[in-house]
Structure 1
């Protein structure tokens, strides 16, 4: 995956045979590329392209590639540029993916160039025999259990490893500060717009608490980070999963960071399950997470405290989905609204904003 020559592109027209030759040449200097065919282009926080590369080294590399480049949408590009989200994903694949205990896509090339952006090239999941998840998928109990176990394994692997922040500055520093500052600065207007656009998808009783959350976001983010830290995915919804015969894999590591492990569980259960299935199995899934961590040697875990932190962390997937709707063009609208409805049900079920001080401040 180490690429010395420039492979960073900013527009689909730059995906030429010469560009593909640069990547393949790192694996097989004698291999030849004869054509590159862009089969699909999807725009969101990044530009995502399905590409067919005609070459003669199929014993080494696949012909079907998945490419991520900076978004062609100006609004999305501006929002993701300051915190350098694609750069963070590139760094994850280059520095941590090989040692990760969970399955991630096969990366063929990953590179960042200052001032030019980042490009990530992966093997196409479908061509490799995997099933990419869809954002609005409603997972079964078996699938949910598998994801919870895998997240516990991932969190246990990095538990209390704060040295990661010293080893990998891209996990903290300016990128993280810029992301937090931008999120807090825009929280109120984006929440207001998102609530208006969501309409009946969000019960009216949640509007005032949600605006309280937005107005106090900086404090709340600080409180939600005040816990034992591990590496977290931070965007674990159904569209960022893929499936194999032996269980799930995890995609889209743009928001990876040090955080509290239960935050990933809250994000996942709030977005991936129909409310009825979540309600019926939530406690069992939380118990599975706790049990798996314990079996992996993570001690001093309190079941009551874990639930309280879970309850509080449900606020973030709600915010994330509402803000996604407010910004627009970052997720398919129907899928976005379905995840809003699921997350809204979760925060209502657990009175999550009260866990963040809403009643104490507002009543």
Structure 2
């Protein structure tokens, strides 16, 4: 099998694909997917002997400066597929080929999930969809729960005190920018909650280190693919934010940003219960529901953090502004409802 990294769609020739897939590819047709802001993505239609009819090719951003800046994120996604995917039970696309080069170059050939439907971060989701998603999340977290071997993976770090301090210092100006640009989409109470998040973030980032596992890091609706027939079986994509940390940060981020506040209030206890039950079914021991609920309350600060930095350092779009504002408003409401600052200490 070829281990050659290619970074341009023109290089995905039948000859290269034949070597990568270890099967004859006679022809390939490529169609762009998405906007290409943090990388390029194409749907490949293949003819050949014993090869998939369709694949998704993920390649680095065309701009070499952007590649260098995103090298860590690219590395994390490739290493998820090569090193971790087989050790967890989460539903993720099947990887047919993965290669990692220098200077932010990489190549991934992944299962095409069509006709699965992408979640919509602005619309939100139903409690039934959320139940499917939290069970799938437990299938990521449980198999490597408190696995000391994860601590030896240099590419899969978690914040130390210096990093938490630096992030906290950046968070304040990022919130100022967010409020200046999108404040008209927020209530005054949300703005106040955002500023309180800044004050709490440094100690929040490094707290509760006694529980850790593999985190997706951006487990939200736009990164989930739901079966088009409405059946259970959601699949998580876009693994560039993978990290180690408190498991409930993924859970709280998902529920806090995906469900409109009224729905979340009505269903979150049931959904956290379902997540905890799945953990126990998957073998997690000595983790009571009360601890899980407390971690969930604690973890909700993940929502504003990711949304604010995503807005501050991403390319502004009309949909992006509405999406980030919705994420912040929902998660700030959850922080107040759950008295999250009260459990940070």
Structure 2: unaligned runs, 5 residues or longer: none
1:273 Cα shift? 1.2
Distance 2:104 2:141 in 1: 33
Aligned residues: CA RMSD: 2.9
2:26 corresponds, among 27, 32, 36, to: 32
Report whether the alignment pairs 1:21 with 2:21.
no
1:274 aligns with 2:274: no
How much does 1:145 deviate?
1.4
User: Given the alignment of the two structures, is residue 310 of structure 1 paired with residue 296 of structure 2, yes or no?
Assistant: yes
State the match for 2:331 in structure 1.
343
Partner of 1:241: 224
Aligned equivalents of 1:221 and 1:66: distance in 2? 35
Q: Distance in 1 between matches of 2:106 and 2:170?
A: 25
Candidates 181, 197, 210, aligned match of 2:181:
197
Paired residue total: 340
TM-score after normalising by structure 2: 0.86
What is the Cα deviation at residue 208 of structure 1? Answer: 4.3
Q: Return the alpha-carbon distance in structure 1 between the equivalents of residues 210 and 63 of structure 2.
A: 36
The 10-residue stretch of structure 1 (207-216 or 144-153) with the greater mean CA deviation from structure 2: 207-216
1:92 is aligned to 80
The Cα of 1:252 is off from its aligned counterpart by 1.3
Query: Which runs of 4 or more aligned residues in structure 1 lie more than 4 Å from their structure 2 counterparts after TM superposition?
Result: 17-20, 72-79, 175-182
SS at match of 1:329: coil
The 3-state SS of whatever aligns with 1:170 is: coil
Q: Give the Cα separation in 2 of the matches to 1:176 and 1:183.
A: 11
Deviation at 1:330, TM superposition (A): 7.0
1:60 aligned residue (51, 62, 66): 51
Whether 2:137 is the aligned partner of 1:144: answer no
Q: 1:109 and 1:6, CA in 2 relative to 1: closer, same or farther beyond 3 A?
A: same
User: Where does residue 360 of structure 1 map in the other structure?
Assistant: none
Q: TM-score w.r.t. structure 1 length?
A: 0.82
Alpha-carbon spacing, 1:106–1:181, altered in 2? closer, same or farther (3 Å): farther
Measure, in 2, the Cα distance between the counterparts of 1:226 and 1:235: 19
Q: Which runs of 5+ in 1 are unaligned?
A: 358-363
Which of 34, 40, 43 is 1:51 aligned to?
Answer: 43
- 1:258–1:193: structure 2 CA closer, same or farther, 3 Å change rule? same
Map 1:63-78 → 2, pairs under 5 A? 64-72=54-62
Choose from 287, 297, 300 the match for 2:273. Answer: 287
